[in-house]
Structure 1
Amino acid sequence: MNVHWTPTVQAHRMKKPPQTSHYRLRENARAKRVILKVRPHEGLEVVIPRGFDRRLIPEILEEKRTWIEQAWRSLEAQGLSPSEPPELPKQIQLPAIGKTVTVSTVRQNGPAVELIPSFHKATVTLRGAVTDRAACLTLLQEWLKRLGRHCLPPLLQRLSRETGLSYRKVQIRGQKSRWGSCSAGGTISLSWKLLFLEPPLVRTVVVHELCHTVHMNHSQDFWDLLSRLEPEAREKDAALRDAVHAVPAWANWKPREPVRE
């Protein structure tokens, strides 16, 4: 695959924000209450139940300020500052497609960073203001998303023909907590982070979502269908829960979003 793509990202200086004024907000339909997490390199995450009044969040954060600051200091003491993005990878292991990609940097004057990929040589070069890790990580994630768009839809098409299960269209996204999903209209969304998994697990995820085109739930009928198509589906489903650790921190990193009033 020849990918001629040299996007740029403007470099910027990151300043440590007040611990409770910046956070990432995530809605979880299964959550019963508000959950606060301070994650390495990612900072504060606020998980809310579906339908929760977001205007209440600032008050909750103020009440938990002491705990948040203690958690923040604990991570900093371990060298895992939430205020800074992770280090750039030197190599990217992509088991799903059997590739190990070498990442190199070329520092040049200027305010921007560009990414120059060579798939056949299995290299990615970041050139420009490469001291801006946030800009570099953003480009690496965008490149992997493009790679996912190239590699994952053909697999979905092949497994659709193999299983006889059809879908309407496919989307490649960067979900953090889900490998894939299927809408009632037959749209299958797959995470580009599947590239970090072994091929048998990727296959299981894809077949799992195809089965949702028949059963939009996890009923016994769903599991019966999936198990016929993937005899070790339940074992692989358990392995997928552990497989989140195969995704490196830099691939999950996102700049913190400001508080939404």
Structure 2
Amino acid sequence: MRRESWMRSKVNRPEFISSSGRVLSVAVRRRKGTRHMRLSIDLHNQIVASLPWHCSDRACQKFIDQNRNWLEKQINAAPEVSGLREWLKQSPRLSAGGRSLAVSMHLSSTARAHYRINVQGSCIEFYLPDGSGEVTRYNLVLQFAKAALSDRAAELASRIGVTYRRLSVRNQSSRWGSCSSRGTISLNWRLVLIEPRLQDYVIYHEFAHLTEMNHSRRFWTLLDRYDPQREEHEKELDALTPKIMRVRW
């Protein structure tokens, strides 16, 4: 009786056991209207099982077991999730104003975190109070990203002659940006982590949506006019996205 109870409990919590013996939990998402089971790896490197509404956990576990080899390959190929601190140690540059600037982090005796661009305009200097944690570091970089992306969007909008209602910079989990039908643009703070030309491409992409709220031929023709190298930039961004979107705080 105890064995049956244990087995039932195990089935009720779908999981994946890798070839090395590591046990990985599976996030189960049931949706009405979904007809087929599907497995994926999200940007937190979590296994996600998308299931029809009435699909049982037992059927989900069986599907996971049947796709063990595919899951193993996907998990091994997924970039590692990294914290902002580790990312900036490996890639100490941020983009602003169409330029790539060096980054330096300093401990400060002041109680307030702040940043400044050096006199030469080549380096962003971040000052963190002694003892501050990752949240303070993230908030300071987010503050910089809001200012840098707002300024760059305004500059590019003036260059091509478009207007938008409002711009926000947020911590989207998987999207680089969005544009509402009311002319509100939202950008991902991680845009400051990528090369200036790719940052500009994303901003132009959202500007094109101010006119075309779709991905029709007219949309791509308009975006080609804003960014003549958009196909090249799009390929570069697609290749970088899985890695950059895994930068967390």
When normalised by structure 1's length, the TM-score is 0.60
CA contact (8 A) 1:20 1:62 kept: no
Write out per-residue CA displacement over residues 107-166 of structure 1, whole angstroms, 9 at most, x where no aligned residue.
xxxxxxx883432461343632x7xxxx52x33332222111111112112222222222
Aligned residue for 2:103, secondary structure, equals strand
Write out per-residue CA displacement over residues 157-215 of structure 1, whole angstroms, 9 at most, x where no aligned residue.
22222222221111101224322111122111111111012222211111111110110
Q: CA RMSD in A?
A: 4.1
- Name stretches of at least 5 consecutive residues in structure 2 with no aligned partner: 1-22, 119-124
Q: Aligned partners of 1:147 and 1:92: how far apart in 2?
A: 14
Please name the residue that 2:130 is paired with: 127
Q: How many residues align?
A: 203
Q: Aligned partners of 1:215 and 1:248: how far apart in 2?
A: 26
Please name the residue that 1:34 is paired with: 38
- Name stretches of at least 5 consecutive residues in structure 1 with no aligned partner: 1-17, 107-113, 255-261
Q: Aligned partners of 1:183 and 1:235: how far apart in 2?
A: 26
Q: Aligned partners of 2:156 and 2:28: how far apart in 1?
A: 35
CA contact (8 A) 1:37 1:45 kept: yes
Aligned residue for 2:113, secondary structure, equals strand
Change (3 A) 1:160 1:58: farther
Q: CA deviation at 1:103?
A: 3.3
Write out per-residue CA displacement over residues 33-74 of structure 1, whole angstroms, 9 at most, x where no aligned residue.
5324277xx45242748xx65x96966775548959x96xx8
When normalised by structure 2's length, the TM-score is 0.63
Q: Which has the higher contact order (CA 8 A, sep 6+)?
A: 1
Please name the residue that 1:239 is paired with: 236
Aligned residue for 1:212, secondary structure, equals helix
Question: 2:15 aligned with 1:20, yes or no?
Answer: no
Q: Aligned partners of 1:24 and 1:172: how far apart in 2?
A: 30
Structure 1 consecutive aligned stretches of length 4 or more whose deviation exceeds 4 Å: 55-63, 65-68, 84-87
Aligned residue for 1:217, secondary structure, equals coil
CA contact (8 A) 2:178 2:185 kept: yes
Identity %: 23
Look up the equivalent residue of 1:92 and give its one-letter code: P
CA contact (8 A) 1:204 1:233 kept: yes
Aligned residue for 2:225, secondary structure, equals helix
Q: CA deviation at 1:232?
A: 1.4
